[in-house]
Structure 1
Amino acid sequence: MSSPAMAELRWQPPAPVDLVRTLRPLCHGAGDPTARFVNGTFWWACRTPQGPGTLAISAAGEQLHARAWGAGADWLLAATPDLLGAGDDWSELDVSGHPVLRQARRNRPGVRLTRTGLVLDSLVPACLEQRVTGQEAFRAWRLLTYAYGERAPGPAEPRLWLPAEPARLLEVPSWDWHRFGVDAKRYRAVRAAATVAGRLEECVGLAASQSIAAARQRLALVPGVGPWTVAETTVRALGDPDAVSVGDFHLSNIVGFALTGAPRTDDATMLELLEPWAGQRARVIRLILLSGLTPPKYGPRYSPQDMSGI
């Protein structure tokens, strides 16, 4: 059997790019069928405006080598610089006044915010991640993709799958959502997003022609999509430099601990602490998460419930 047709690009970024830490947020768990790292190469399968495609990016000295397959190959290669943060300018971010942020920035100079330009690919996993543990959400995303997605174009390995199309998401019956461990509130949010998928993809152009705030407002009109889900989507799909996932179970405590040493912080206090970096809060949060600092844990851990067996 002949090898699938491949297009490729070698790109010299204007500054060093940390490939792993820039693109890791696109991987929803270690077993994500659509995105993963294999021996230092990032593999990603998605549905582009030009059709299905698979992208592989690896470092080649100071250059980055991108290979792509499928109908969406040309689109993916054109999008590669944005995916690697070419439009993400950290030059105005001043973290010199805080030792944790200053050290994190010094240690990770190549970190950027990615920008996929694909809204639904980030929105659906974010809906599944609402109010549950990562373990539960990643399992649901994996099972949904295997059941309603399809094999991605390109090499047989690493066996990537395309996420389910909007029409297929609308076909998922309630008993399959139950089998995937997804409660009614979350799968209704996914269905609502799939129903207006075309209008949501317009958020990419809306952010470019008007503002990211306008794109956030459109996303927030979808039933079941609140501030947390909007932020988780825009930071990946639009490279939103000011996205803050308000309502996250852990984030406020992590931010508060890194910036003040307090073991517990609520959302309101977190927003006050981040206010000096308004407009760039997603970058500050990224540095905090990369610092490795975590607050002490108190009380029993939350134990996920497997609702698929109920």
Structure 2
Amino acid sequence: MHLAQTVVDLGTAFDLPRSLGILQRGHGDPAMRVDPGEHRGGPGGTPGAGAWMCFRIYDGAGQQSSGQIGSVTLRLDQLSARQVRVRALGPSEQAASAALDRAPQLLGTEDDWSDFEFLLDALEDDASLALARVRRRHPGLRLPATGQLFDQLITVILEQKVTHDQARHSWRNLLTRYGDQPPSSDDLQAPQWMRLPLTAEQLRAVPSWAWHQLWVQPPLSATVQRVAGRASAVHRLAETPVERDAVAELAAQLTSIPGIGEWTAAEALQRSHGAADLPAVGDWHLPHLVGEALSGRRTDDAGMLRLLEPYRPHRHRVIRLLRVSGYRQQRFGPMLAPEDHRRR
């Protein structure tokens, strides 16, 4: 095993839990868990916070016969308001070094909010002024970009049109039952609960009856298999730069895969590429949150897009601010309580 480490200086205060928390799928996520620490953020950042992650680094250029550079265990520790120590353990020096190379983008060092902050001040309407206040309370919030497009697609597919509990159960048990243990050594011991996200080959090997036990509906498992069958192409697409126009084109390419719609593409790219202007159209709750927070009344997808239009090209930044603001919309819709058919 090879251990590599570096310290990333983000230049300004960094809020690790709120920035990277979007990557964690529930409290029992086997591939990613954030340690929030004791600091609440703000201008002083969140020193003492940290995170465990494990993932595979795929070879989008096709230079490796195996299709991947290697699996990696990553430990992040925030040392000060703006500095994060990154330790990467992999089976080879190439894998560990590749993980370190991706760390700045993962932490959002390239995610610049200054234009958005100027825009909020310039608009001067009540909603924009309120958003500006939220931003001042959370100046360390950034949009992470993992580069792990394939893994993000799989997690989001499992979240399509199901409850939060269903999606978390499916992801957690898929990795626990079928995922490999990540790299571990005396220098960096991976927690016992950690499991790597599945490769395309591993996903294709999961039998149909097992998906049923995992609480994954047939249309979703079929979409997982379609994406697994296109894994090489997805790994190539993952190399797409994080620039806005390139990400928008990438979203259009992803929606050409049957079972991948606007919502799935947006949710995946928000995490893999830090897509700042890609709101998730098709979400049950999001239009209500945006509508109530920005206009005082609920709305639909079309209304949400109208409300977000003045903030282009920062529409997802608006949503992230609403998520961390503490605002809670009224809940008039039915609480979904799906029947459990796994033992039938």
Query: Who is 2:336 aligned against?
Result: 302
User: CA 1:24/1:279 → structure 2, altered by over 3 Å: closer, same or farther?
Assistant: same
Query: Who is 1:92 aligned against?
Result: 115
Q: CA RMSD in A?
A: 1.6
User: 65-74 or 161-170: which moved more?
Assistant: 65-74
User: CA 1:252/1:156 → structure 2, altered by over 3 Å: closer, same or farther?
Assistant: same
Equivalent position amino acid for 2:101 in 1 = A
Note if contact 2:34-2:52 (Cα within 8 Å) is conserved in structure 1.
Answer: yes
Question: Structure 1 residue aligned with 2:89, among 69, 76, 84?
Answer: 69
- Secondary structure of 1:202's counterpart equals helix
Give the C-alpha shift of residue 174 in structure 1.
Answer: 1.3
- Pair 1:53 & 2:42 matched: no
Question: Structure 1 residue aligned with 2:53, among 40, 44, 56?
Answer: 44
- Runs of 4+ with deviation above 3 angstroms: 206-210
Note if contact 1:118-1:237 (Cα within 8 Å) is conserved in structure 2.
Answer: yes
1:68-115 CA-partner distances (Å, limit 9, x unpaired): 111332111111110111111111112233233112101110101000
Query: Who is 2:232 aligned against?
Result: 198
1:158-189 CA-partner distances (Å, limit 9, x unpaired): 53110111011111111101000111111111
* 1:244-259 to 2 correspondences below 5 Å: 244-259=279-294
Gaps of 5+ in 2: 38-48, 59-68
- Pair 1:162 & 2:171 matched: no
Give the C-alpha shift of residue 265 in structure 1.
Answer: 1.2
Query: Who is 1:226 aligned against?
Result: 261
Give the C-alpha shift of residue 205 in structure 1.
Answer: 2.8
User: 267-276 or 296-305: which moved more?
Assistant: 296-305
Q: Identity over aligned residues, as a percent? A: 37
Question: Structure 1 residue aligned with 2:248, among 194, 200, 213?
Answer: 213
Q: How many residues align?
A: 306
| Equivalent-residue separation in structure 2 for 1:211 and 1:299 (angstroms) | 37
| Equivalent-residue separation in structure 1 for 2:27 and 2:136 (angstroms) | 27
Give the C-alpha shift of residue 256 in structure 1.
Answer: 0.7
- Secondary structure of 2:239's counterpart equals helix
| Equivalent-residue separation in structure 2 for 1:280 and 1:16 (angstroms) | 20
Give the C-alpha shift of residue 300 in structure 1.
Answer: 4.0
- Pair 1:124 & 2:143 matched: no
1:192-238 CA-partner distances (Å, limit 9, x unpaired): 11111111122233345971122112211111000000000111111
User: CA 1:196/1:300 → structure 2, altered by over 3 Å: closer, same or farther?
Assistant: closer
